[in-house]
Amino acid sequence: MPAEIPGYYFDASKNRYFKIQANHIASGSSSSAATKYSRQAVNAEKLIHKTNKREKRHKASKAAQTVKRSVLSKRSLLEFGWRLGDKRNTSAEIVKTFYATSISGRNIYTGPRSPCGQFAFEHATGNLLTATSSDERQVDPTPTILISKPKRPRQVFSQAPESAWSDVQIDLWRQLRHNITHILSLRYGRSVWVSQDHLPDEYSAVILATHNEPDPHAHGLPDIQLVFQGIITGLTKSPSGERLATSGDRANSYVAEIDHFRPAIENYQKLKDQTCVKFQDENVIVFGGRNGQATLCDVRDQSATVMRLQHSSGVAHIQPLANSGQPRLLIQGTLDMKVYDLRYCPIPTRQPGSSSSTTAHNRHKMPRRYLNSPPVTTFSMSATRQPNNFNLGFAYDPELNLVASASTDHHSNHRIGLWDVANGHMVESPLNAVMFGAQVTCAEFVDWNCGTTVDGSQELPSLQTSRRSGAKSLLLATAGGVRSSQANPTGMWEWSVN
């Protein structure tokens, strides 16, 4: 075991010590060695090594455990195994385990333009909506919204078949420098995306467009363009697709009711510094805040707003678990992931000593702090699997009861794992061991069901909720601007059962 020298890091592969560089010095250096031995990189490597040793010890101790024999000899063998913890697996658990262990990944994007890291899948038609930008260095890059009809098992995008997608932008929108952060698919061939511009003032634009050929409004022009001050951090739609909800860093949390291309907008000015939003049903919305608070709002009455849950870290994603038949919420934070049952979670109470002070030394109002709400399930998430970011990929499938959660250490450990929502444990899968070359910023479970077009010339995937012809696929997208390699893949990927 090499000795620990303050300010130096021992690299076992090179059998020598290296001086640890400051982060701001290493980031500005062109040398790969300086970046590898920065303070952030060294801390990340130590955390990975420490976590791997802990997991090996846990597996070894679990394998070495012995169980005591039953003192009740009259019990049957099945009951004896049940009492020892060898529970009988249900059909759903067998399918879940088979799916997680059998999936494999392949790259589905090889186009000449760089993807932005966001996409949306239109379940009614099988269209894949994504945004791209030119790889060429330009003073004013032009992001493009693409609509593709992927053909399995061939690649979704390639160099030649440009007829597989269509552009839905206008020239005026191309001339603006925008960063596309959210893409959402609505019903009736309509899509919505969020573009942000940080200069000179921060503002966000919510753009709705129609890409359905028979529709009279389908001229490649946006139908609605709503501009808001500040950054929009979340975008979601109601189950019927008639309402849109946004969350923002400032007092820009809105609910828009889309009716004949004339939205009626309601602003929730009391909600500030929100990071995500999700519809629990057609009328109830759940907002997640950076301070870990989950707020429920009723769109029928704007005053019906109540802070319902207090998570132990900043809320990154919220997912209602409607398949359980109970009012449960799955909340992914920046450090952990938990399931809450609204029936047994009381209204959060304030921590002792968190009230505002009125003394002469401290007359300003202190922020209110609340006790954490009691969860029903806490996911076993190690330090190397913590998201540590609000803008990472997250997906949930109610049929498999699996959740895909991305994680990063902001250096090189960019991964995504599969967890079982029923018990909170990570499911064994080859996807868990893959280290991507960039942060996984978008994820979604899709259900392919290939059919034929009207003329029968080609097969197009579509979704049928009543029946499935094959297993589900997990679509992933990483942050753009990073070249893909065999060891560290980037771009858009599909993980499915062969």
pLDDT of residue 80: 53
What's the domain count of the chain? 2
Residue 79 counted as domain residue: no
pLDDT under 70 in the chain at which residues? Answer: 1, 24, 26-34, 60-89, 110-114, 133-178, 188, 198-201, 211-223, 251-252, 259-264, 324, 353-367, 448-470, 480-489
Shortest CA distance to 271 belongs to which of 319, 306, 228?
A: 306
Question: Among 62, 80, 113, where does a domain finish?
Answer: 62
Query: β-pairing, 394-397 with 377-378?
Result: unpaired
Residue 69 counted as domain residue: no
Domain, as residue range, for 12 = 1-62
Q: Which helix (H) or strand (E) holds 42?
A: helix 39-64
Q: Is 468:399 a contact under the CB 8 Å cutoff?
A: no
pLDDT of residue 99: 92
28 plus 111 within the same structural domain: no
pLDDT of residue 497: 86
pLDDT of residue 268: 78
212 plus 345 within the same structural domain: yes
426 plus 319 within the same structural domain: yes
pLDDT of residue 194: 87
- Whole-angstrom CA distances from 261 to 46, 130, 190 are 54, 23, 11
The pTM is what? 0.77
Q: Is 122:75 a contact under the CB 8 Å cutoff?
A: no
CATH number, residue 268: 2.130.10.10
pLDDT of residue 1: 66
58 plus 99 within the same structural domain: no
Q: Which helix (H) or strand (E) holds 49?
A: helix 39-64
Residue 83 counted as domain residue: no
